[in-house]
Amino acid sequence: MVRAMTGMTPELQGKRVLLGVTGGIAAYKAAELVRLLVKAGCDVRVAMTAAACRFITPLTMQALSGQKAFTDLWDSQVADNMAHIELSRDRDAILVAPASADFLAKLANGLADDLLSALCLARECPLLVAPAMNLQMWDNAATQRNVKRLGEDGVLVLGPASGDQACGETGMGRMLEAEDLYQDLAAFFQPKLLAGRKVMVTAGPTFEAIDAVRGVTNTSSGKMGYAVARAAAEAGADVTLVSGPTALAAPRGVFRIDVVSAGAMHDAVMARVRQADVFIAVAAVADYALANPREQKMKKAGETLKLELVPTRDILAEVAVLPAPPFCVGFAAETENLDAHAQEKRAKKKLPLLAANLAQRAFGADTNELTLFDDRGRHHLPPASKLALGRQLIAHIAAMLPKT
């Protein structure tokens, strides 16, 4: 079952995609992908090979896309009987999912003996493929040679993943899930404002142990930080995400480092941040930790319990004063006097940019509202999904970076 999608934004609204389906058991995922794309406001046209029709019917794809599913190179319903020309001319991209080993070989060698392969050869729009095949077929030297050639020809190869396969074996060759392909397609259409840049993002809460089973934390879900990390990756950056405890999956294409405490987050950041061009501190890091956490569970004794708390190290402040610091972006989660507290924090830490929000509206929610503060003043980002705000923040950062 496909994971429930969260924070869907209209990034594909109005985009026109031709989805190619080739023969393979993963064709069932193509049906779910059509559903997701149509739900997002995408115009989806489907072209299927004869082998694909053995696994899923054109009627299914027609019902999901709301358009006829094309299978015939000689379809008389297409203008001038030129289906291989006309069906792709108004498309923003062609995505072939699943793309079988046979079809990858056709593409790599310029063969065009059916509708879908001819469409791909005669296209004027970008081409993306999602391989799906048995692990030995994927590992075969011929397949690897074909995939390399496709990359050199400008074709974007999405996946595959490693996992259980219909043949009963486990390994590389499994097609990406429909939601993963949706995210990859959405990312493809985002402007590559941070291409060649290295970005580090912190996200989520930290957990400061009291004893073996208890601790001090906060209600941050990590959603804003993960959205910023995804937006940075979509913008072409090499992204490292240092995350406190959350229930979120790492964004596609992002390298995640899991930590628990503020101290562990500090160590993980300081070990790698010197290689970053941009550091975005979104995490809700604990300001205090227990002076002497207990190794064993404390027993309830009935009397008042007093805990000694000591300040944690200020990660963002330490990064900002490095000899050659990255471009530092802070986040301020306030409950009152948003502008005053945010301006004070930015000045105190000497940050070029700070994003502020109200914690009671942001923590745990799928939407947020940000106010950005920089040397040019105050910039309000109205309520939107956290991913949409993350993309706006990344665009703002990109505009402030020195040109390379």
Distances (CA, A) of 85 to 44, 67, 119, 121, 270: 17, 18, 6, 9, 54
What burial letters (b/e) apply to 27-40, b meaning 16+ CB within 10 Å? bebbbbbbbbbbeb
33 and 101 share a domain? Answer: yes
Asked which of 103-107, 294-298, 312-316 is least confident by mean pLDDT, the reply is: 294-298
Is there a domain that residue 3 lies in? no
Check whether residue 47 and residue 135 sit in a common domain. Answer: yes
Q: Are residues 394 and 328 in the same domain?
A: yes
Q: pLDDT above 70 covers what percent of the chain? A: 96
Residue 315: CB atoms within 10 A of its CB come to: 23
Asked if the structure places residue 209 within a domain, the reply is: yes
pLDDT at position 194 is: 97
Q: Examine the domain organization and report whether 169 and 128 are in the same domain.
A: yes
* Last residue in a domain, options 160, 188, 216: 188
333 found inside a domain: yes
- The residue ranges of DSSP E strands in 132-254, in sequence order, are 156-157, 161-164, 170-174, 198-203, 208-209, 215-216, 238-243
Q: SS3 breakdown of the chain: % helix, strand, coil, rounded to 5? A: 35, 25, 40
Per-position b or e across 279-294, b if 16+ CB within 10 A of its CB: bbbbbbbbeebbeebe
Q: How confident is the model at residue 367 (pLDDT cuts 50, 70, 90)?
A: confident
- What CATH number should be reported for the domain holding residue 245? 3.40.50.10300
Asked whether residue 386 is domain-assigned, the answer is yes
Region 256-268: what's the mean pLDDT? 96
- Confidence (pLDDT) at 381: 93
How high is the pLDDT of residue 168?
Answer: 82
pLDDT digits (tens, 9 = 90+) for 221-232: 999 999 999 999
Q: What is the pLDDT of residue 9?
A: 54
Which residue of the set 42, 125, 167, 328 is catalytic? 167
Q: Can you tell me the distance from the alpha carbon of 93 to that of 296, in angstroms, rounded to the nearest whole number? A: 58
pLDDT number for residue 241: 98
Same domain? 129 vs 211:
no
Distance CA 167, CA 80 (A): 43
Question: First and final CA of the chain: distance in angstroms?
Answer: 44
Taken as a whole, the chain contains a residue count of: 404
Annotation says 120 is catalytic: no
If one compares 130 and 363, the residue with the highest pLDDT of the two is 130
- Looking at the fold, whether 240 and 344 belong to one and the same domain comes out as yes
Same domain, 239 and 386: yes
Assess contact for 251 and 230: CB atoms under 8 A.
yes
Domain-located, residue 2: no
337 and 317 Cβ atoms separated by less than 8 Å: no
| Integer CA distances (angstroms), 56 to 22, 283, 318, in order | 10, 45, 57
Q: Which pLDDT value is given to residue 218?
A: 85
pLDDT by residue (tens digit) across 312-327? Answer: 999 999 999 999 999 9
Indicate whether 283 and 391 sit together in one domain.
yes
pTM: 0.85
Say which CATH number the domain at 42 has. Answer: 3.40.50.1950
Same domain for 179 and 30? yes
Which of 149, 169, 188 terminates a domain? The answer is: 188
How many domains does the chain contain in total?
Answer: 2
| 177 and 214 co-located in one domain | no
Of 188, 213, 236, the last residue of a domain is: 188
For range 143-161, the mean pLDDT: 95
Same domain, 282 and 264: yes
State yes or no: pLDDT of 79 exceeds 70: no
Range of the domain at 78: 10-188
Q: Is 142 in the same domain as 176?
A: yes
Compute the average pLDDT of residues 201-230. Answer: 92
Mean pLDDT (the chain, rounded): 91
